Amino acid sequence: MLALMLLPTMPVAAVPGMSHVRVRHPALEPFLREAIDKSATTRDMIAALDASDVFVYFELLPGMRASLPAGLSYAGSGGRFRYLRIALNPMNSPAQMIAMIGHELQHAVEVAQEPNIRSRRDLQKHYKRVGIESRDHATWDTEAARRTGRLVSREVMRSRELARSGGALPERTAQRF
Task: Please check whether residue 44 lies inside any domain of the structure.
Answer: yes
Q: Judge whether residue 9 has pLDDT over 70.
A: no
Please state the rounded mean pLDDT for residues 45-67.
95
- pLDDT tops 70 at residue 45: yes
Residue 177 lies in a domain: no
Can you tell me the mean pLDDT for 53-76?
94
**Position 174 in a domain:** no
**For 103-129, what is each residue's pLDDT tens digit?**
999 999 999 999 999 999 999 999 889
Long-range contacts, stretch 91-95, CB < 8 angstroms, 24+ apart? 91/64, 91/66, 94/31, 95/153, 95/157
* pLDDT, averaged across the chain: 85
Domains of the chain: total: 1
For 139: left if phi > 0, alpha if psi spans -120 to 50, otherwise beta; the answer is: beta
Question: 55: closest CA among 102, 125, 4?
Answer: 4
**How confident is the model over 29-37, as a mean pLDDT?**
96
Mean pLDDT of 142-156: 96
Question: Is residue 156 assigned to a domain?
Answer: yes
Which pLDDT score, from 0 to 100, does residue 166 have? 78
Task: Categorize the per-residue pLDDT at 132 as very low, low, confident or very high, splitting at 50, 70 and 90.
Answer: confident
pLDDT value of residue 69: 94
* Domain annotation covers residue 176: no
Specify if 105 maps to a domain.
yes
Answer yes or no: is 172 within a domain. Answer: no
Please report whether residue 175 resides in a domain.
no
Pairing of strands 21-23, 54-60: parallel
Domain residue limits at 7: 2-165
